[in-house]
Structure 1
Amino acid sequence: MVAITRTLSPALVGERLSAVLLAATLGVGLLFVSGFAPVVALHNAAHDWRHSANFPCH
């Protein structure tokens, strides 16, 4: 049996790090915005999104 080892190039490591940082930033931003937004604004945003995606809601 042959063991296959894989090494990551510095460019690939940089891309992965960039993707993780972007995802973390977006996630924290969503939590921050939704945590401080009024409930009515969140409800209206979800309601408008359902209409724009053609989902029936009432």
Structure 2
Amino acid sequence: MSQSQVTQATHLPVAAGQVGRLTQSLMAMVLGLFIVGVVGFSHIDVIHNAAHDVRHSNAFPCH
């Protein structure tokens, strides 16, 4: 086995871990945007008020 083959084999798990973290980060951002955007503008009063209170408690400007 040559040195380049050994180097490539040791870098594969690191790249796979980075892809997993990137995927998790993107999914967390999508979920956060959904909660802040879609739920915050809901016409159901209970859901809207809950999202509104969370935005205020996190110092997120909403109006």
TM normalised by structure 2 equals 0.48
Matched, 1:33 2:42: no
Matched, 1:13 2:18: yes
Specify which structure has the higher proportion of helix: 2
TM normalised by structure 1 equals 0.52
Which ranges of structure 1 fall in alignment gaps of 5 or more residues? 1-6, 44-58
- Deviation track 1:29-48 (CA, whole Å, cap 9, x = no partner) reads 111112211252517xxxxx
CA RMSD of aligned residues (A): 2.6
RCO higher in structure (CA 8 A, sep ≥6): 2
Runs of 4+ in structure 1 over 4 Å off: none
Which ranges of structure 2 fall in alignment gaps of 5 or more residues? 1-10, 49-63
Which residue in 1 is equivalent to 2:60? none
